[in-house]
Structure 1
Amino acid sequence: MTKNKAAVAAAVPAAHIPVMLAEVLAALAAQPARAEADTKDKSAALAGLHIIDGTFGNGGYSRAFLAAGADVLGLDRDPQAVRVGRQLAEANSGHFAIIETEFSKLDKAAQAAGFAPVDAVVLDIGVSSMQIDEAQRGFSFRRDGPLDMRMSGRGVSAAAAVNSLKSGDLARIFHFYGEERHAGRIARMIERRRADKAFTTTLELAQAVEAMGLHRYEKIHAATRIFQALRIYVNDELGELARALFAAERVLRAGGCLAVVTFHSLEDRIVKRFFASRAGERPASRHLPAKTLREAAFTPLFKGAKPASPAEVAQNPRARSARLRAGLRTQSPPLPADFSIFGLPELPVLAAQKLNNCLAGGQI
């Protein structure tokens, strides 16, 4: 990348500084493709790399990758994020492109764009502040708006799920995706309340949960875990993450880096189990020959999960729960995509259009 290109990337202002940016950049620069490169010039630290920013959001990571010399393919299923990405593409013609798609399809998107194989895949699994801050998106229990939560604007809305699922299914969603210990009681309350009037707004649901008084001694809002669970369910976030990890394995070249930033234990557990399943197999006994039974698909860049630095947490409290895991792709072929390693529950699948139409017409 020329310095002019880095200047163009930097000239497009980022809406926020992405979490653990320094650690992510260090992980990408540590791969073998950079081992012999002169990285003293920080503006070209990632020169020539093909990087997929699988969760474009506000574009903070993509801007940093461009400024460091990389060519970037951004992906996002949120039409608003894609509009931001198109502005960045105009300012970085030939070095950045944005595609509206789920990041679980990142390998297909890269191949269709002539961008594969790639040197790095970066995923930031947190919810964009752009989504939370806009009341009409229905993500926040602190702002009144439609009970929606769909990142893409397609599929089943949170209102359709809340007003149509059986209380037992709602309880399972609240328990698994929200780790809510009062899941059953809240689900039964919802079932009783919706019999008189369907839930249609965020504050209706948040206030109903708060009125139960089950979380009066907790620091977080009473509806925090319920909204988290509904958001994850509506957008199939954990399933998307699992599929994206397998897709990254397929599209990365040997020596390429997969870096994933997560924000709660459910996400981190999936990433941890994925890397563990790709670490190769060895004999159970140390007395047997040290022969690899199954070749590793990834080797870790560092042990376990790396947290955000205290300095970053002090500047940005959102980074408090952030964890980074990263690994380098080996030369071995991709392993089969075995979803059983993640332990995801089987939850009800709703007929999206029918339910959303019924809700809009007041039939639910």
Structure 2
Amino acid sequence: MSDAASRHQPVMLQRCVDLLAPALSHEGAVVIDGTLGMGGHSEALLTQCPDATLVGIDRDPQAIALASQRLQRFGDRFIAHHAEYDDMAGALAAAGVDKADGILLDLGVSSLQIDEADRGFSYAQDAPLDMRMNSEDSVTAADLLATADQRELTRILRVYGEERYAARIAESIIARRDTDPVERSAQLVDLVRACIPAATRTAGGNPAKRTFQALRIAVNREIEILERAVPAAVEALGTGGRIVVESYHSLEDRIVKNVLAEGSTASAPPGLPVIPDEDQPYLKLLTRGAEKAPEAEAEANPRSKPVRLRAAERTRPTPSKRHRRAA
């Protein structure tokens, strides 16, 4: 197995570090990398922020092992935490603190997962349809295709993959369950291609990529976890702490945008001469909308093209009134 550093290019690496670094310049600072992967962002943060301790969360045991090897030179400044990335409380406990000074969430699929053919994430390589980020989870993509009803499959493909031919693809999967169940990536690619009119196949790359994205999201409960993780991350930040999130499709970005917008907007009715304390914002946005990867990076690293980066700073604790409403 090749070294982790040679297998993955972290997206918008220096921009992430630059946004988080001002909150990590004091002794005892703690930063949580909620999506450790192969440790590229973590390595840069530990190198450029020498006062910080980093807790790296990942649900993939293979990623934890690779990143831990890569980051072992930082000694006890790196702490690995095997969990889903909404477990901010567990990460804080692992570091022995109540609040974090920085939190990074890079929601892209790791090269580790895409490039390992036998894990079934890629439509470019034939393999069993697994797609589990945590091999200890029980349900694979093949299991999902074998058990979900047509309505649920259609919903998954339409909502998570934004696939316009979702109903047709779901119907085809159901139709062949008894005679030729879809269990391998090449089978699924062929099925999707047959369901999509030839005139629409030429644009947008492999016609199966939206279906693969949708199944990966469903198998790993990505949207469900993200909806918990972003509010949990905001609440895990101490005053002055910063959060940076990199999203790769519109569903993810919408969730992140809404949470950060809520925290950075006064909740009082418009027109009040004085905004009550409990209605004051508790976040300050650090980016103007969502930032994209620079053109040079997008050309050098195609996986950075869809990224949308948002960042915010914690300006005060969440007012109790708004905290109760969010709960």
Does the pair score TM above 0.5? yes
Tell me the distance in 2 between the aligned counterparts of 1:22 and 1:64.
8
Q: Which residue of 1 aligns with 2:69?
A: 87
Amino acid at match of 2:171: R
The CA deviation at 1:194 is: 1.2
* Mapped contact 2:240–2:315 kept (Cα < 8 A): yes
Is residue 2:60 matched to residue 1:75?
Answer: no
- SS of the residue corresponding to residue 211 of structure 1 reads helix
Corresponding residue to 1:329 among 293, 306, 314: 314
Is residue 2:176 matched to residue 1:193?
Answer: yes
Corresponding residue to 2:19 among 2, 12, 27: 27
Q: Which residue of 1 aligns with 2:36?
A: 56
Question: What TM-score results when the alignment is normalised by the length of structure 1?
Answer: 0.81
The CA deviation at 1:184 is: 0.6
In the alignment of these two chains, the number of paired residues is 316
The CA deviation at 1:250 is: 2.3
CA displacement 1:92-122 (0-9 Å, x = unmatched): 2111111111001122232144144211000
**Which stretch of structure 1 is more off in the superposition, 189-198 or 127-136?**
189-198
* Mapped contact 2:4–2:67 kept (Cα < 8 A): no
Tell me the distance in 2 between the aligned counterparts of 1:47 and 1:143.
47
CA displacement 1:112-138 (0-9 Å, x = unmatched): 441442110000000001100111111
Question: What TM-score results when the alignment is normalised by the length of structure 2?
Answer: 0.90
Corresponding residue to 1:277 among 226, 244, 262: 262
Corresponding residue to 1:253 among 238, 250, 255: 238
Q: Which residue of 2 aligns with 1:157?
A: 140
* Mapped contact 2:268–2:279 kept (Cα < 8 A): no
Q: Which residue of 2 aligns with 1:16?
A: 8
The CA deviation at 1:58 is: 1.1
CA displacement 1:261-308 (0-9 Å, x = unmatched): 11111111110011112124255444x314146132311112211111
Q: 1:338 to 1:182 in 2, by over 3 A?
A: farther
Is residue 2:226 matched to residue 1:231?
Answer: no
Is residue 2:118 matched to residue 1:136?
Answer: yes
The CA deviation at 1:211 is: 2.2
Q: 1:241 to 1:337 in 2, by over 3 A?
A: farther
Tell me the distance in 2 between the aligned counterparts of 1:198 and 1:16.
34
The CA deviation at 1:218 is: 2.3
Q: 1:92 to 1:283 in 2, by over 3 A?
A: closer
The CA deviation at 1:310 is: 1.5
* Mapped contact 1:120–1:256 kept (Cα < 8 A): yes
CA displacement 1:196-252 (0-9 Å, x = unmatched): 122211111111111234342323211111110000011011111121112212221
Structure 1 unaligned segments of length 5 or more: list them. 1-10, 35-45, 340-364
**Which stretch of structure 1 is more off in the superposition, 114-123 or 126-135?**
114-123
Tell me the distance in 2 between the aligned counterparts of 1:130 and 1:302.
29
* Mapped contact 1:260–1:324 kept (Cα < 8 A): yes
Q: Which residue of 2 aligns with 1:145?
A: 127
Amino acid at match of 2:64: V
Amino acid at match of 2:59: R
Q: Which residue of 1 aligns with 2:288?
A: 303
Tell me the distance in 2 between the aligned counterparts of 1:12 and 1:221.
27
CA displacement 1:140-186 (0-9 Å, x = unmatched): 11111111101001131111111111111100110000000111111
Is residue 2:101 matched to residue 1:102?
Answer: no
Amino acid at match of 1:256: G
User: After the TM superposition, which segments of 4 or more aligned residues of structure 1 sit over 6 Å from their partners?
Assistant: none
Is residue 2:180 matched to residue 1:180?
Answer: no
* Mapped contact 1:56–1:76 kept (Cα < 8 A): yes
Tell me the distance in 1 between the aligned counterparts of 2:290 and 2:47.
26
* Mapped contact 2:293–2:305 kept (Cα < 8 A): yes
Identity over aligned pairs, percent: 40
Amino acid at match of 1:135: A
